[in-house]
């Protein structure tokens, strides 16, 4: 259960649901996905063996750059009129209110239905920064949601630790993954860059730190080149900063790439991946970069799960400051050939087939 549905809406949670669902269906399981109807035509459609239920017309997921509370309430209410008959239900923790609907639906079943909640992030006190005074409502909602079931799944060890600190029971880690075979077969792009970033251009991604770091790096590498892949509310501000620092020839804004293979091709033709975000529940783009042989440079922050993916042989972790990020990126460019092998090895352990094996075993346990 999740309001946003891949491939009509593209994001980490959406991709995870898609990859697991189609693989479970291919293994003979009956899989249904309940979400908003982002497609045209019938309310129920089938793709790759998965039955998609469009339970309501879609509404904007974001308002003024933040997740819409109205949309969350609307989806949660409509979900109550679509009880599922499956033995197990996996509801994503965002946008929270749907977790309560899933709990009610599970309780109404005559036979015991296993309710799983998959946690992509745990915010705790960050709610106050995100919503101001209203953040206390979000914090309490998250706290209650963590106790709705004794079958909680976390996408990273960091998320699992945060979840357990809320009193959640039965927390197990089922990480996100990559399609190793597909990535291996993608050819590098004819365009080459030193550094690449891929993700939503949102404030917490801190792309301004990357732009400022490139400005610092110019003193050592005048022709340093960085690609910024993605779109979002920060686009104009970031373009303005790039112009202000005179980096038009050093930084290219690639925009949102409809075909993610194009983003992977650009990673393969680059030398290092920058992840200056201070809030990541997992960091799929960073793992994709590893699968393309790139070391990852990320920043130190308690809410940044990308740190858990970085080892001394696959990247660098630095303080969230332009000077430190520049230093980390210069080291990554220097060490990129040596780190390629360890990066590929790390990423291969996250192949979706292995992740699906883990999820399948957990779903089937009585």
DSSP string across 135-190: HHHHHHHHHHHTTS-S-EEESSHHHHHHHHTTT--SEEE----B-HHHHHTPPPPS
* E-only strand ranges, the chain: 31-35, 44-47, 50-54, 62-63, 66-67, 88-92, 114-119, 152-154, 171-173, 195-198, 226-229, 251-255, 272-275, 296-299, 315-318
Under 8 Å between Cβ of 11 and 101: no
Residues 56 and 203 in one domain: no
307 lies in a domain?
A: yes
Which of the four pLDDT bands, split at 50, 70 and 90, describes residue 110?
A: low
Helix (H, G, I), strand (E, B) or coil at 115: strand
Residue range of the domain that includes 16: 12-177+351-364
Return the sign of the alpha-carbon dihedral for residues 204, 208, 210, 216. negative
28 and 147 housed in the same domain: yes
Report the alpha-carbon distance of residue 186 to residue 341 in Å, rounded. 17
> Is the same domain home to 322 and 187?
yes
Assigned domain for 1 exists: no
Give the pLDDT band (50/70/90) at residue 337: very high
pLDDT of residue 366: 62
Higher-pLDDT residue of 223 and 112 is 223
Identify the CATH number of the domain in which residue 297 sits: 3.40.50.2000
Burial of residue 145 (number of CB atoms within 10 Å: 0-12, 13-18, 19+): buried
- Torsion-angle region of 96 (φ positive above 0: left; ψ -120 to 50: alpha; else: beta): left
Helix (H) or strand (E) holding 265: helix 260-268
Q: How many domains does the chain have?
A: 2
Please state the rounded mean pLDDT for residues 129-139: 93
List, as one string, the DSSP characters of 279-324.
-BSS-HHHHHHHHTT--EEEE--TTBGGGGG--TTTEEEE-SSHHH
* Across 101-105, 110-114, 174-178, 298-302, least confident range: 110-114
Residue 86 confidence class, pLDDT cut points 50, 70, 90: confident
Contact 31, 51 (CB under 8 A): yes
What mean pLDDT do residues 329-348 have? 98
Residue 109 clears pLDDT 90, i.e. is over it: no
pLDDT at 111 over 70: no
Write out pLDDT tens, residues 55-84: 999 999 988 878 899 999 999 999 999 888
Mean pLDDT of 82-97: 91
Residues 101 and 166 occupy one common structural domain: yes
Tokens of residue 204, six digits: 């917490």
- CA–CA distance, 213 with 207 (Å, rounded to integer): 10
pTM here is: 0.88
What is the spatial distance between Cα 92 and Cα 100, in angstroms, rounded to a whole number? Answer: 11
pLDDT for 66: 85
Tell me the pLDDT tens digit for each residue of 221-258. 999 999 999 999 999 999 999 999 999 999 999 999 98
Q: What is the pLDDT of residue 65?
A: 77
Share of the chain above pLDDT 90, in %: 91
Q: Are residues 267 and 344 in the same domain?
A: yes
């Amino acid at each position: 259960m999740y309001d946003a549905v891949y491939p009509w809406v593209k994001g980490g949670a959406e991709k995870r649901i898609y990859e697991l669902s189609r693989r479970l269906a291919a293994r003979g399981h009956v899989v249904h996905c309940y979400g908003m109807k982002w497609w045209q035509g019938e309310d129920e459609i089938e793709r790759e063996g998965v039955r998609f239920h469009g339970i309501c017309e879609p509404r904007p997921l974001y308002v003024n750059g933040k997740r819409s509370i109205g949309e969350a309430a609307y989806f949660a209410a409509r979900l109550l009129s679509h009880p599922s008959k499956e033995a197990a239900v996996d509801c994503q923790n965002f946008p929270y209110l749907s977790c309560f609907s899933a709990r009610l639906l599970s309780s109404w079943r005559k036979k015991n239905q296993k309710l799983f909640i998959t946690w992509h992030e745990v915010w705790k006190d960050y709610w106050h920064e995100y919503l101001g005074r209203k953040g206390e409502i979000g914090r309490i909602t998250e706290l209650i949601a963590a106790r709705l079931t004794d079958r909680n799944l976390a996408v990273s060890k960091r998320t699992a630790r945060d979840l357990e600190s809320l009193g959640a029971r039965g927390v197990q880690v089922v990480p996100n993954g990559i399609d190793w075979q597909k990535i291996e077969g993608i050819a590098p792009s004819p365009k080459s860059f030193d550094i690449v970033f891929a993700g939503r251009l949102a404030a917490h991604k801190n792309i301004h730190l990357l732009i400022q770091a490139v400005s610092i790096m110019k003193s050592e590498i005048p022709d340093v080149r960085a690609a910024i892949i993605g779109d979002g509310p920060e686009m104009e501000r970031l373009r303005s900063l790039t112009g202000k620092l005179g980096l038009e020839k050093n930084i290219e804004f690639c925009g949102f790439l409809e075909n993610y293979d194009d983003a992977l091709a650009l990673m393969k033709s680059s030398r290092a991946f920058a992840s200056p975000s201070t809030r990541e529940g997992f960091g799929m783009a960073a793992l994709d970069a590893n699968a393309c042989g790139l070391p990852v440079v990320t920043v130190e922050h308690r809410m940044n799960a990308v740190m858990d993916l970085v080892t001394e042989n696959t990247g660098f972790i630095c303080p969230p400051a332009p000077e430190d990020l520049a230093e980390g990126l210069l080291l990554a460019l220097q060490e990129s050939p040596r780190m390629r092998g360890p990066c590929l090895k790390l990423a291969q352990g996250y192949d979706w087939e292995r992740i699906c094996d883990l999820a399948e075993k957990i779903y089937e346990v009585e």
